[in-house]
Each structure stands twice: as C-alpha cells, then as structure tokens.
Amino acid sequence: MANFFAAARQSKTFVSLRILTDSGWLSGMYLKLSSRQLADSLNQGGDTVVLTNAFVPSGENEIPFLSVRRDKMVLIMPDEIEAPNQESGIFVAATPRKVVMLAGLASIAGTISVPSNLRVTDYFSRNHGFIVVTKLRLTVRNPEGGDQWTRDLEQILVRGDSMVAVSEVEASSTKTSQSFE
C-alpha cells in the first residue's frame, strides 16, 4: 500500500498560483497531475479548487488548507509558465487569435488558441472553463481607490464564463490604433 501512495505522489506536482477573485487576490499551492496541463486540471475538477499554504487579502498568516469556489475565480497567474502540450487541451486544429477581454476588474489584451472553425465570440460563449491567454497585457483596477496596475505577462488563465466582454483584434485595427499613440 505504501508503494501505491509513493507512486501517486510522484505523478503529481505542486504549482504556485495567484488567483484574482471578486474578493481580491489569493495565492497558494495547487496539486495537479504532472502529465496534465494546468487548465485541464482546473477544468476537470469539481466546484472548488483546493490550495495549500495559502494567503488571502489582508491576511498576515499562511492558511494550511483553503477551498476556493471555482465560479468565483476570474483569472489565474501561475508563477511558472507552462509549455503547450500536444496531448492536452484542444484536440482540433487551432489558430492563435489576438483578443481583448474584460473580466471583473481586469482588462486583458493577448493571444488565445481558438478552434479554426469557430469565431472568438463563439468560442467564449461555449467555453465556461479556464482558457490559456499568452503574450498579454493585464490591467487590474482597484474598485475602491480607482488606482490600477498594468503588467506584461507571458501567460494567465481566464475563466470563460467570467468574461464581461470579448472581441478579436484584427491585425489592421491593431496597426491603426498604434499609429494614434
């Protein structure tokens, strides 16, 4: 029996995450199968995500075990960037698409992989799980003070049903908007 648990522990890895919720930023460690992409692990779970060694807004002490409602998570910033895995995620031909999104207090401009036969808006209307966004600019607003911060990031995960608005950015409109800056 001990061999079974030892083998199970070796097939899993902890991932350090920062999670934006309506209540603010949470952070902690998430345990996932080593062979599975983070988005796939999160999408195939239940109603909650379990974090260990967690911190909550204004919390001074580490919380050993925190259960977070999946439907309250807006976006996730993993501390380590995951390389795409051919065996994981979308199993159809996909096309990288530049998008702009609003989710809660966050504005995101980046790239997502969308099945070639779908429009971006259709993809988001059908996808209620976490979607990987790469090469992005993230702006998060403070609802109380009006302050905001912006960061250029390599990767985040956004929950599809947390989107307030989404649109594909066409190459021609990107050039036009850049010429006005």
The dihedral of CA 13, 43, 109, 145: what is its sign?
Answer: negative
Phi, psi at 23, each rounded to 5°: -90, 0
d(CA 12, CA 32): 5
Cβ neighbours of 58 (radius 10 Å): 6
Q: Which parts of the chain have pLDDT scores under 50?
A: 86-90, 174-181
pLDDT digits (tens, 9 = 90+) for 70-112: 999 999 999 988 876 544 444 678 899 999 999 988 999 999 9
